[in-house]
Structure 1
Amino acid sequence: MRPFALAALVPLVAGLLSAAPAFAACQGEGLFECRIGKKELEVCRTGSAVSYRFGPAGKPELEIATALSELQYQPWPGVGRAIWEAVTFHNDGTSYEVWSSFDRQDSDAKPEGGVNVLKGEKLIAALDCTKGSVRNGLDLLYGAKESIGQCWSFENHRWTTAPCN
């Protein structure tokens, strides 16, 4: 179980449930979506794979699929003002770190997100989602990782397999 106050998530969940219709392009479960300029960023789960898509609506220019068991997902550590999470996809030496964040102490806050593109360790682009366009956070990945027998070690900051404490 993650160490945070469930009551802090009520405004976030209420806002997301009333936000936008279901993801149009995802063939499975839509985990995250936003607009960046005229393009869309999506993170979707289909069975045991999670995919990153970026490009014009319905016609991604880039799509990367990663097995859920191998997915680099950093859950919120349970402290701080913002609830944040990140997931990283790799493609030919380039990493795409999708992030989502929500200020749990601001009753007017809207979910935020974006993608950081890195070549090796060098940041080559930091793209923020258009304000108000973020649908869902990445928190559904936590339960997905647990459903395949993985658990997050807050001490070691990595996913492990059973036995989980």
Structure 2
Amino acid sequence: MRPVIISLLVKTVYLCCFPVSLAADSHSDESEVLFQCSLNNAANTVSVILFSDNVQYFYSNAEGRVELSIKSPLSDVDYTPFAWDSPDVAERITFHNGETSYEVFHIMNRSGINFTDGSNGGVVVIAPSGQRTEILCDENSIMPVNVFHGIGRMASLRSEDYDAFQQCLSSELSATACLNVEASSCSLDIYDQTECLTVEYDRWRAVLAEKLSAATELDHAQHLWEASRDADCGLSAWVVYNPFEEDVGMLSCLSDYTARRVDFVNNYIVGIEFDG
């Protein structure tokens, strides 16, 4: 079961304990959990939930009763995206209640498989004096586990023109690292995964073609690479990438091979790599 499915189930169970007026809104088809975790050894829960054009912060007790709720328009919410070339993926969204602010954060280590390892988060309460009090999430309680399935979607939710693919390519990240971000997003249940990965693969093919136009001496080696890719992906598609959905596995393998080839060609052009 993928993280987003789990988070939505948790949301349904959790919101059932909210006051009636809130529960009615929360069961809207437009609602979605962007972040949720337990705090203080399960004595409290903090949640950030998207309701159509609004984002709402909830802080509740162990019985599920909301102690604090702050609503902010999606277009105006105080959101800080991570820096593409930073060692960690750190997403932050801040809600203001008078002169006191509540900064919800989710941080993951880039080295984790599917961006789920080294995950931590919580809420920072910023008093009017500027004093910051950090309350960390209980271990293994963050939902969705993958930051790009939660707060990490804020940029694309706020603007249809936001293109994470191009943003990543413009950064100092390797193509392989960018692929991990995009492929991770394709696993969201709001997408048809096969369709999403097809678009992903087509975009990587276009990037590779552009890179190869500056290294035409690799044309012969490219044919050998393609043969090796096809042979490897024919087996790895279901053995390594996805044993249950062959199409998804094949597209994942092809995209992976292509992104790695982009990294190779980039290195070749600057003189780091020499063999085709």
TM-score, normalised relative to structure 2: 0.45
| Larger RCO, structure (CA 8 Å, separation 6 or more) | 1
Larger radius of gyration: 2
Using the alignment, how far apart are the partners of 2:109 and 2:132 within structure 1?
A: 26
Counterparts in 2 of 1:1-165, with a 5 A limit?
A: 16-17=3-4, 21-24=9-12, 25=15, 26-27=26-27, 28-37=31-40, 38-56=43-61, 57-107=63-113, 109-120=117-128, 122-136=130-144, 137=147, 138-147=151-160
Structure 1 unmatched ranges of 5 or more: 1-13, 155-165
**Deviation digits for residues 90-131 of structure 1 (CA, Å, limit 9, x no counterpart):** 001000000001111144724211111112352242100001
**Greater fraction strand:** 1
CA distance in 1, matches of 2:163, 2:117: 30
Structure with more of its chain in helix, by fraction: 2
**In 2: Cα distance, 1:34 partner to 1:121 partner:** 27
What displacement does 1:76 show? 1.0
SS in 2 for 1:134: coil
TM-score by length of 1: 0.73
Unpaired segments of 5 or more residues in structure 2?
Answer: 16-25, 168-276
Query: How far off is 1:65 after superposition?
Result: 0.2
The total of aligned residue pairs comes to: 139
SS at match of 1:132: coil
Displacement after TM superposition at 1:151 (Å) = 9.1
Residue 123 of structure 1 aligns with an amino acid whose one-letter code is Q
Change (3 A) 1:116 1:143: same
Moved over 4 A (4+): 17-20, 149-152
